Amino acid sequence: MSKSICDEEQLLDDHVDDHVDEEIKKCFSEENPRSFFMFAGAGSGKTRSLINALSFLDKEKGAVLSANAKQIAVITYTNVACEEISRRLRYKPIFAVSTIHSFLWELVKSYQKDIKEWVIYSLTEEIAKIEDKQSKGRGGIAAEKRLADIKRKKDRLFKLKNVKRFSYNPNGENVGYDSLNHSEVIKMGAEFIATEDTMQKILTGKYPILLIDESQDTKKELIDALFIVYEKHKSTFQVGMFGDTMQRIYTDGKDDLSNCIPEEWEKPEKIMNHRSAIRIVELANTVRGTIDGQRQKARSDASKGTVRLFIALPSSDKEEVERRVAKIMAEETGDASWHNESEYKSLILEHHMAASRFGFNSLYEPLNSSGYFDTSLRDGSISELSFLAKVISPLVIAYQSSNDFEVSRIVRRHSPLLNKKTFAAEREDQTILLQKAENAVQELMTLWENESIPSCLNILKSIKETGLFELDKRVDDILAEFIEGESAKITALRKALEVPFDELERYYSYATDNTQFATHQGVKGLEFPRVMVILDDTEARGFLFSYEKVFGAKEKTDTDKKNEREGKDTSIMRTTRLLYVACTRAQESLAVVAYTNDIEAVSSTAISNNWFVEGEIMSI
Ligand SMILES: Nc1ncnc2c1ncn2[C@@H]1O[C@H](COP(=O)(O)OP(=O)(O)OP(=O)(O)O)[C@@H](O)[C@H]1O
């Protein structure tokens, strides 16, 4: 069949945004270098434009930059995004791709004297602030917490005097008094950049071009600092920001970013959505319609796609509801992959919702409620937990499948009984060492005998006794009896590690993104053919989001009304943006599952907002 003019037009249409990449390339011209702000909706190819821009820069300027020991900096939101972008750029050394935390730490870490001064100053200020609050506040738990906080901070301040070198791990816990926490690094780094001439020269000298992905959620301190640097160094420093204001879901991003962009920056716009089926793009447009009215077009070759809204009572058996939803989706779409849990992504609002659905609540709960583990609990980097998952889990599998080679490899790699130093010291009879290690492994494996599953605490105890693996000093405290006044971190870890080992394995699969679950926030930037978005305020603990308000099942609070009057961000706007992020991850089919006591209100709001039509809504 021959192509019609109409077909040609549609195909051309798919390329309507191609000029954007050209405009960005022009921004890097020698004659007229410009900074830019490329904001566009979900699936519009921002990440793709970022990669295109970087590949272009590599070709055009790579050699000259390298010869002058300069790099192009790229700041991404997560380690996963970092890895993905680096991979697509074939790990070329001309690019310094990092998260904001690593970026700032790399920049400041050699200025230890300044770091020390800053930490002492900032701690002193914090203590003064809490003391002031304490003098004005009432007693009770809050006052007790403040007192403990003051004591901890004063202890740290005292110990700081002797610190020679501060350390920081952007991807893990920062336990010691001489290590910096995540927010300290952001505050300090941004402050150095904003105020120190030398730091600005180092930044612009090393990175004459800096591109930021997901800039709507980049910490406002850094964005503000970069605007300052740009104003002072615009002839030698170029910034490129990619993002989407509708996808701002964290409160520490700069909320009025689009109004702060300097006049002279290039501001290319995109209107296509290359990711999603027509019906999903339509839904995204109507959801966005309640916030800023920007609309996108689906590709001419996009499929029709399916969206459904399922409404259920919060008292229902949620796992059963979600299983039925998947079954119905398989029938309605004719896509059998909905029958297979690993073939669709279930998006929950908070991690504990995955914990209860996937069976790791007893481990998650004490750690989460202690308030001491945040990023590390989410990404699986609490040292005892990751050790058990990364070393013990494969060891057990290898042992149980009689894979002696693998057992020996793991032990040689991780055990102090067989490390080079111990071996060198025991020149005479190394078989003794081998025997000792083998006995230690046997001892450990007896815990799994008769199909039993040991608790994580018992595993650590066995390892401690035999010395099979090196354990953090903290493990001694965890294995000891509870004592009054001990650190709440230790108490929480002891409680969490009481769980059977398979619960830890389930937790770790989730933390390392190997299950069907992910949070609405965690999937930013990603895409999946089939998505189930779960809306459940009864399980959401924070006050930041409320789907029931968005769907009219709950009244706006006085604060919401006040914020609305004053033109400020409201929880409804914030939640609508999160809904937009979650729904726009879907490529082919999307099931939204809303738990509410007011089924009627949710259904009628969904219809009156033009989000769903009657035939797409089902009470379940
Ligand atoms: N010009 C294009 N032609 C064809 N496919 C494209 C084009 N641009 C992007 N895509 C595809 O569309 C999908 C979305 O692209 P990308 O992830 O870059 O969008 P994004 O704007 O970063 O999305 P989001 O903001 O939702 O994370 C990807 O699968 C990508 O390969």
Average pLDDT, whole number, for the chain? 90
What percent of the chain has a predicted confidence (pLDDT) above 70? 96
For range 553-579, the mean pLDDT: 89
Is position 243 annotated in a ligand binding site? no
* Mean pLDDT, residues 525-532: 94
From residue 390, give the alpha-carbon distance in Å to each of 78, 310, 383, 402, 440. Answer: 21, 39, 10, 19, 18
pLDDT band at 12 (very low <50, low <70, confident <90, very high): low
Q: Output the pLDDT for position 79.
A: 82
Query: Can you give the pLDDT at residue 4?
Result: 55
Instruction: Look at residue 543 in the predicted model and tell me its pLDDT.
Output: 67
Q: Which pLDDT band, with edges at 50, 70 and 90, does 1 fall under? A: very low
Task: Classify the C-alpha dihedral 214-216-220-226 as positive or negative.
Answer: positive
Q: What is the pLDDT of residues 145-202, one digit of tens each?
A: 888 888 888 988 888 888 888 989 887 667 677 888 888 999 999 999 999 999 999 9
CA of 518 to the centre of ligand 1 (A): 20
**Residue nearest to ligand 1 atom 30, measured at CA:** 45
pLDDT digits (tens, 9 = 90+) for 492-502: 999 999 999 99
Tell me how far CA of residue 234 lies from CA of 21, 179, 265, in angstroms. 22, 35, 11
> What angle do helix axes 351-358 and 318-333 make, rounded to 10 degrees?
90
Distance 272 CA to ligand 1 centre (A): 9
* pLDDT tens-place string over residues 342-379: 999 999 888 888 888 889 999 999 999 888 887 788 88
Question: Ligand 1, closest atom to CA 18?
Answer: 1
* Ligand 1 atom closest to residue 581's alpha carbon, by position in its atom list: 26
Residue among 232, 252, 247 nearest 101 (CA): 252
pLDDT at 10: 58
- Cα separations (Å) of 253 from 224, 427, 534? 11, 59, 25
Rounded (10°) CA dihedral 152, 153, 154, 155 = 50
Which parts of 467-609 fold into alpha helices (H)?
474-479, 488-496, 501-511, 547-550, 558-565, 571-583, 599-608
pLDDT tens sequence across 249-297: 888 888 888 888 999 999 999 999 999 999 999 999 999 998 988 999 9
43 is in an annotated binding site: yes
Residue 503 has pLDDT above 90, yes or no: yes
**If you ran DSSP here, which 8-state letter would residue 371 be given?**
S
Going by C-beta distance under 8 Å and a sequence separation of 6 or more, which residues neighbour residue 273? 41, 42, 43, 44, 281, 284, 296, 297, 298, 299, 584
pLDDT at 428: 62
Looking at residue 562, its amino acid is K
Amino acid found at 334: G
Of 12, 88, 274, 283, the one to substitute when testing ligand 1's pocket (max ligand atoms within 8 A of C-beta) is 274
Residue count of the chain, please give it: 620
Quote the strand ranges of 276-408, DSSP E: 297-298, 306-312, 345-348
Cβ atoms of 311 and 298 closer than 8 Å: no
The answer to whether residues 189 and 105 touch, using CB atoms and an 8 Å cutoff, is yes
Q: Which pLDDT tens digit goes with each residue over 406-456?
A: 999 999 999 988 877 777 766 667 788 888 899 999 999 999 999 999 999
Number of the ligand 1 atom closest to the C-alpha atom of 48: 18
φ, ψ for residue 160, nearest 5 deg? -60, -30
Here the tokens at position 186 are: 């952001």
Mean pLDDT throughout 314-328?
Answer: 95
The 10s digit of each residue's pLDDT in 82-132 is 888 999 999 999 999 999 999 999 999 999 999 999 999 999 999 999 999
- Determine contact, residues 97/85, Cβ cutoff 8 Å: yes
Q: Which amino acid is at 499?
A: V
Which among 151, 159, 175, 152 is positioned nearest to 120, based on CA atoms? 159
Residue 127 to residue 154: CA distance in whole angstroms: 7
pLDDT given for residue 18 in this prediction: 87
Tell me which residue of 282, 355, 351, 348 sits closest to 594, measured CA to CA. Answer: 348
Question: Tokens 């809050």 label which residue?
Answer: 142
Ligand 1 atom with the shortest distance to the CA of 51:
18
User: DSSP assignment of 472-511, as one string?
Assistant: -THHHHHHSPP-TT--HHHHHHHHHTTSBHHHHHHHHHHH
Indicate whether 566 pLDDT > 50: yes
Q: Is 567 annotated as a binding residue?
A: no
All residues at 6 or more sequence positions from 212 whose CB lies less than 8 Å from its CB, including other chains: 74, 75, 218, 239, 240, 241, 242, 243
| Closest residue by CA, ligand 1 atom 27 | 525
Torsion of CA 102, 39, 524, 536, to 10 degrees: 130
Complex ipTM > 0.90: yes
The three-class DSSP label of residue 83 is: helix
Which amino acids bring their CB within 6 angstroms of ligand 1? 42-48, 244, 247, 274-275, 525, 527, 584
Q: Is there a contact between 153 and 123 (Cβ–Cβ < 8 Å)?
A: yes
Question: Average pLDDT for residues 322-340, to the nearest whole number?
Answer: 97
Q: Which of 14, 38, 48 to mutate to test the pocket of ligand 1 (most atoms within 8 A of CB)?
A: 48
The pLDDT value recorded for residue 173 is: 66
For residue 518, list its beta bridge partners: 347
Share of the chain above pLDDT 90, in %: 64
Residue 352: its H or E element = helix 351-358
Q: Please determine, for residue 28, whether its predicted confidence score (pLDDT) is greater than 60.
A: yes
